[in-house]
């Protein structure tokens, strides 16, 4: 990762697109079972931690809805979020759970 544009221009919407592209590329490979990432955008001072977590959930949701895994891939890869600061990791985990629950509850049910 070399940069996300001019300082201050990285928005939650752009972060969601980045996460959608990231997971889309992993899905497109078809053989990756695990991937590790860091929370992108929250350290720059541009986005708050909760905005970045919401962007990750929305981006990954979009990727899973629009991008099919290649033929023969019968799994969704496990994505590990890496954070060294324990308190920050706990805040990230709570935000991700909150937004994932909201995302699941707002999704139309399929019969």
Give the tens place of pLDDT for each residue, 58-84: 999 999 888 765 666 667 889 999 999
Give the tens place of pLDDT for each residue, 7-43: 667 899 999 999 999 999 998 888 899 999 999 887 7
| Contacts of 31-37 spanning 24+ positions with Cβ under 8 A | 31/73, 32/77, 33/75, 33/77, 33/78, 34/77, 34/78, 34/79, 34/80, 35/77, 35/78, 35/79, 35/80, 36/79, 36/80, 36/81, 36/82, 37/79, 37/80, 37/81, 37/82
């Amino acid at each position: 990762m070399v940069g996300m544009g001019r300082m201050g221009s990285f928005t939650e919407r752009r972060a969601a697109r980045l996460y959608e592209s990231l997971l889309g590329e992993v899905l497109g490979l078809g053989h990756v079972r695990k991937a590790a990432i860091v929370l992108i955008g929250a350290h720059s001072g541009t986005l708050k931690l909760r905005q970045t977590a919401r962007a990750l959930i929305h981006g990954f949701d979009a990727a899973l809805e629009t991008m099919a895994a290649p033929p023969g891939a019968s799994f969704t890869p496990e994505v590990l979020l890496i954070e060294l600061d324990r308190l920050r990791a706990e805040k990230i985990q709570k935000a991700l759970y909150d937004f994932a629950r909201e995302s699941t509850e707002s999704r139309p049910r399929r019969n």
